[in-house]
Chain A
């Protein structure tokens, strides 16, 4: 039954997922830049997962949730399919970037770099985190959930900039972004060691499991 639900999500949302194509245009350009391979591949995996996570919001927008939930399939399976689709699309986008790195004539990237364990794990970590965080919101609140989530980030950013400007402390904002960047870089570096690999795998596993349980709980209690 999961296979049917998965097939349904992929077929019904193929057009939506093609929306990622403009990202690949930028990726194609970035392949000529030295050291851009890993970051574009990680970003592609992240964006692919993010787009696939919003499938439920799309159903909400098109008012098809009730129709699809009337089919003989458990809501748990529908939720499961969402997580699998997000993983599949994230993996597929990553592989496309890797293929572009290897094939494009102007690419200066080494495709092998993109298959280093630490780069793959960083992609999995970031993609899993966005799925774990966003999926329950999307499933419970649909389109509104996505809009509120993304809107809240926008507002937070604006507030940060205004506050920094007000206190004449733009460097504070730079510190925040700098800290995020350093965090990702150190996570990437650390993922080469067995200890951090295990720790990250445990955190990713637990957060994904909790997110899935929460999503199923919310989906099963949602009146359509």
Chain B
């Protein structure tokens, strides 16, 4: 498959935080959910893709090009929505679009107008007086109006009401349906991804935990619950994270068949892990 986004051993050092050796790719026509707790490195990856920060080591390719050397060509093909869409507060959405428009070679004004109508954007209202949700809608309209091949969304749904969250997810699903565009969706609200993400990439403490198709993730990762007495030196290494309560333990493993084999006959319950389970229990030790 033709990857629209490819990271190989990407490393970025900041003072007090490093993103280390991250590798994953996103084929055309798919949605990738980038998940991880706050401070895991999701926004750093988004910034590297958008050229807002420089890669310390490794290779990053967007649409086959290196953003460092083909900056304009790459950014022309990316649509972005930052976590808190910030533009100049005293500019109307209409004026903002007129400023952004000339930068893009494939800007589609009728499409922007249609999106503005669909999202019910108040075109003459100052950006600063728009609600958080309306700002995100405006940013999304700007991102979609130039036929971006890769949409990069950094926590776009945090702070949004469930109605617009649903609308946004439907819109993104429709956007990739022609198989030409892809979406990288960074979020810590994992319920957003359950329905729409084709790939899940999990970052924790600046390191890649996994990057797989959604089906693989849900097939491999399970949560095991049971009496703490069944945990011993043989069974503990099965888990990538364990939480032990007064009466029961919860363990997370990415090797469901092995867990089933090793713990067969024990007083345990094995359930498919949710993305929340994976985020919560990975690396947890008691």
Spell out A's residues near B (CB within 8 Å).
1, 3-4, 7-8, 11-12, 15, 62-64, 66-67, 69-74, 221, 223-224
Contacts and interface: CB of A to CB of B under 8 A. Distances in A.
A105 to B, nearest CB: 35
Contact of A11 (B52, B85, B95): B95
Interface stretch (B32-40, B100-108, B156-164, B193-201): B100-108
B54 A4 contact: no
A112 B161 CA distance: 64
Interface residues of B, number: 32
Contacts of B98: 11
Given A66-B82, A71-B103, A72-B103, A224 B95 contact: no
Given A70-B80, A72-B75, A223-B54, A62 B102 contact: no
Interface stretch (B1-9, B86-94, B243-251, B258-266): B86-94
19 contacts: A4-B103, A11-B91, A11-B99, A62-B88, A63-B84, A63-B86, A66-B50, A66-B82, A70-B50, A70-B78, A70-B80, A72-B74, A72-B75, A72-B104, A73-B103, A74-B72, A223-B53, A223-B54, A224-B53
A70 B52 contact: yes
Contacts of B95: 11
B216 interface: no
Taking each of B82, B88, B103, which has the highest tally of chain A beta carbons within 10 Å of its own beta carbon?
A: B88
Interface of B: 14, 47, 50-54, 71-76, 78, 80, 82, 84-91, 95, 98-100, 102-105
A69 B99 contact: no
Contacts of B87: 64, 67
Nearest to B79: A70
Taking each of A7, A71, A73, which has the highest tally of chain B beta carbons within 10 Å of its own beta carbon?
A: A71
B99 A73 contact: no
Contacts, number: 69
Contact of A223 (B47, B76, B85): B47
Given A72-B72, A73-B72, A7 B14 contact: no
Given A64-B87, A224-B47, A224-B53, A7 B99 contact: yes
Given A223-B47, A224-B47, A67 B102 contact: no
B52 A12 contact: no
Contact of A69 (B52, B85, B89): B52
Contacts of A63: 84, 86
Contacts of A224: 47, 52-53
Given A12-B88, A64-B88, A223-B47, 15 more contacts: A3-B102, A4-B102, A11-B91, A15-B90, A66-B82, A69-B50, A69-B52, A70-B50, A72-B71, A72-B73, A73-B75, A74-B71, A74-B72, A223-B54, A224-B53
**A-B pairs with the 8 shortest C-beta distances?**
A72-B75, A223-B53, A72-B76, A224-B52, A4-B102, A71-B103, A72-B72, A70-B50
A220 B75 CA distance: 15
Contacts of A7: 99, 102
B14 A70 contact: no
A211 to B, nearest CB: 23
A62 B91 CA distance: 12
A74 B74 CA distance: 11
Contacts of B103: 1, 4, 71-73
B89 A62 contact: yes
Nearest to A65: B52
Taking each of B73, B86, B91, B105, which has the highest tally of chain A beta carbons within 10 Å of its own beta carbon?
A: B86
